[in-house]
């Protein structure tokens, strides 16, 4: 269990900005951690950043009370986006899942209620892998192949240009030898 004593001390002093700094610093090296998301949601809520608080309440699995309401509002503002598009806007810690930190049941229920998913199998890691480029895995492969082809063509053009310059220099040297 993570130690939140420093964060709790800052919260008790009403130094929410400092608590937020500490928590967001932990996000960089964390996997999917509902407790960390819940603590950050509480701090953001205290700072009256309702949209961001809703994001983290959603990730923490909070579906009741003010936290649940902010999570539902967060999803409501993104009603036209699919779960993959929403998940791409989440912090990297939300996308790094392991078996010790499964997606909370509350998160799944909130997404189901917002008609973003049918079940947990549609959630983050597999969805992100399939849609991170805005399309299916096949279109992602096509884009990677297209990028590789473009790099290859650019490399070929560069080599051809350099070889052409070398030939021009040889021709110039040969002409100078003939002229002298």
102: nearest Cα among 53, 63, 61: 61
Average pLDDT, the chain: 78
Buried b (16+ CB within 10 A) or exposed e, 67-82: bbebbbbbbeebeeee
d(CA 35, CA 39): 6
Query: Residue 122's pLDDT is what?
Result: 54
Confidence band for 117, pLDDT divided at 50, 70 and 90: low
104 and 153 together in one domain:
no
Could you give the number of structural domains in the chain?
2
Hey, which of 10-14, 27-31, 83-87, 126-130 has the most confident mean pLDDT? 10-14
pLDDT(114) > 60: yes
For residue range 26-54, what is the model confidence (pLDDT) as tens digits? 888 888 888 899 999 999 999 999 999 99
For the residues 165-174, what does the mean pLDDT come to?
88
Residue 136 has pLDDT above 60, yes or no: no
Q: What is the pLDDT of residue 106?
A: 67
How confident is the model at residue 161, as a pLDDT? 87
150 and 117 within one domain:
no
CA atoms within 13 Å, Cβ hemisphere of 104 = 19
**Closest to 83 measured CA to CA, from 132, 43, 145:** 132
For residue 1, what pLDDT is reported? 61
Residues 21 and 98 both lie in one domain: yes
Is there a single domain that holds both residue 39 and residue 66? yes
* 64 and 34 in a common domain: yes
Task: Tell me which residue range forms the domain holding 14.
Answer: 5-132
Of the ranges 23-32, 49-58, 59-68, 148-157, which one carries the lowest mean pLDDT score?
148-157
Identify the pLDDT of residue 14.
Answer: 93
Q: How far apart are CA 134 and CA 136, in angstroms?
A: 7
Query: What is the structure's pLDDT at 126?
Result: 37
Same domain, 28 and 59: yes
Please tell me whether residues 44 and 109 are part of one structural domain. yes
CA dist 99 and 111 (Å) reads 20
Q: What pTM was estimated for this model as a whole?
A: 0.60
Residue 23 has pLDDT above 80, yes or no: yes
R_g of the chain computed on alpha carbons:
26
DSSP alpha helix (H) spans, the chain: 5-12, 16-27, 34-46, 50-60, 65-77, 83-88, 92-95, 105-113, 124-131, 137-179
């Amino acid at each position: 269990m993570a130690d939140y004593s420093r964060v709790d001390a800052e919260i008790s002093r009403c130094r929410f900005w400092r608590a937020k700094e500490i928590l967001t610093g932990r996000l960089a090296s964390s996997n999917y951690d509902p407790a960390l998301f819940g603590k950050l949601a509480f701090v953001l809520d205290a700072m009256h950043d309702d949209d961001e608080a809703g994001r983290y309440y959603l990730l923490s699995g909070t579906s009741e009370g003010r936290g649940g309401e902010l999570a539902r509002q967060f999803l409501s503002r993104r009603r036209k986006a699919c779960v993959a598009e929403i998940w791409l806007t989440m912090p990297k810690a939300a996308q790094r899942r392991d078996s010790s930190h499964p997606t909370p049941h509350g998160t799944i229920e909130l997404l189901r209620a917002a008609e973003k998913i049918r079940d947990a199998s549609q959630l983050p890691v597999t969805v992100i892998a399939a849609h991170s480029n805005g399309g299916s895995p096949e279109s992602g492969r096509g884009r990677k192949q297209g990028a590789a082809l473009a790099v290859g063509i650019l490399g070929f053009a560069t080599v051809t240009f350099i070889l052409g310059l070398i030939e021009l220099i040889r021709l110039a040297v040969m002409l100078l030898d003939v002229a002298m």
